[in-house]
Amino acid sequence: MSKTWFITGTSTGIGRYLTERLLARGDRVAATLRRTDVLDDLKARYGDSLWVASLDVTDLDKVRDVMARAFSDLGQIDVVVSNAGYGLFGAGEELSDTQIKQQLDTNLLGSIAVIRAALPHLRAQGGGQIQQVSSEGGQLAYPSFGLYHATKWGIEGFVEAVAQEVAPFGITCTIVEPGPAGTSFATNLVSAPAMDVYAETPAGAVRRAIMSGSFAIRGDADKMAQAMIDCADSGKAPRRLLLGRDAWGRVHAALTERLAALEAQKDVAVSTERDA
């Protein structure tokens, strides 16, 4: 049975692959992006199956307006994919206030706005699914990606809470956590000027790996898009959908280490209770 999707950030990467795959199988897609002409080829091929709107998710009023128009024009939307975002690169001290604000406005506040704008419409129609694209970096952290991680850890916390709030309305939420994949993410990184003091630190090592292209990227963004479609089709919405062999290994190791550290602190935690 065909579905109708609302997807942000459809110009490249996972958002573009999702749009292409969904249209090819006969679904309808409400695609948003900043430059709508990027999808002219798909519009020419699929016509009314593709609804396109210009959207910068940092414009919160526009987010609400575009979401309302999509539901009004299409009648029902089964899956909302909040995918728009980008990477900010630099040690915490290297980043400018402007860069930090833009990263938070786009990846965190913009994603929150998309979800909030969708909820009244999903409730009114009796349910639906939200897929929030996060990252393996929503559960671990690399030096020089601190603000990017702050947005991903932040949106994951928001979705964890919202998922519980909206479950009674038949709305499910899945946090999608891709590992590094063959997209334009690296080339679109916004980078802060390097400070010499960080050259021989973990932050400097990551900078050299990124700039030299030696950072391993084995993920296939097209296959990741298909996994997201399969998730929506399955009728079972896991809270998290981790994508990528290497990402699975790194997240597993990070969670194992965190659990071991938590268990080691049990006596300290218990000792801080009030005396009976």
Catalytic residue (one of 17, 111, 135, 152):
152
Which CATH number is 4-246's, of 3.40.50.1950, 3.20.20.70, 3.40.50.720, 2.60.120.680?
Answer: 3.40.50.720
Task: List residues bridging with 181 in a β-sheet.
Answer: 219
Query: Measured between alpha carbons, how far is 250 from 165 in angstroms, rounded to an integer?
Result: 30
Give CA–CA dist 37/9, Å, rounded. Answer: 13
Residue 26 has a CB neighbour count (10 Å cut-off) of 11
Catalytic (active site) residue 148: yes
Q: Report phi then psi at 253, rounded to 5.
A: -65, -40
**Structure tokens belonging to residue 80:** 């909302």
Contact 90, 69 (CB under 8 A): no
> If pLDDT is split at 50, 70 and 90, which confidence band does 188 have?
confident
- State if pTM tops 0.85: yes
Q: What is the pLDDT of residue 18?
A: 98
46 part of the active site: no
Q: Is 93 helix (H, G, I), strand (E, B) or coil?
A: coil
Per domain, the residue ranges of the chain are: 4-246
- pLDDT, tens only, 68-107: 999 999 999 999 999 999 999 999 999 999 999 999 999 9
> Residue 137: its pLDDT value, please?
96
Name residue 24's amino acid: A
Among candidate residues 11, 82, 134, 135, the one labeled active-site is: 134
Between CA 210 and CA 46 the distance in angstroms is: 38
At residue 88, what are phi and psi to the nearest 5 degrees?
Answer: -115, 130
* Options 17, 46, 142, 148, the catalytic residue: 148
Task: List b or e across 142-161, with b for residues whose CB sees 16 or more CB atoms inside 10 angstroms.
Answer: bebbbbbbbbbbbbbebbee
What confidence tier does 276 reach under pLDDT thresholds 50, 70, 90? confident
Q: For residue 230, give the 3-state DSSP assignment.
A: helix
Q: Which two tokens stand for residue 87?
A: 């990477």
Q: Is the pLDDT confidence value at 24 over 70?
A: yes
Place of tokens 């900078």: 207
**pLDDT score, position 214:** 60
Residue 144 catalytic? no
| Mean pLDDT lowest among 3-7, 47-51, 182-186, 255-259 | 182-186
**Amino acid code (one letter) for 22:** L
Do 217 and 187 contact (CB within 8 A), yes or no?
Answer: no
pLDDT digits (tens, 9 = 90+) for 113-154: 999 999 999 999 999 999 999 999 999 999 999 999 999 999
**pLDDT digit string (tens) for 202-258?**
999 999 988 877 666 778 999 999 999 999 999 888 999 999 999 999 999 999 999
Give the C-alpha separation, 66 to 36, whole Å.
Answer: 13
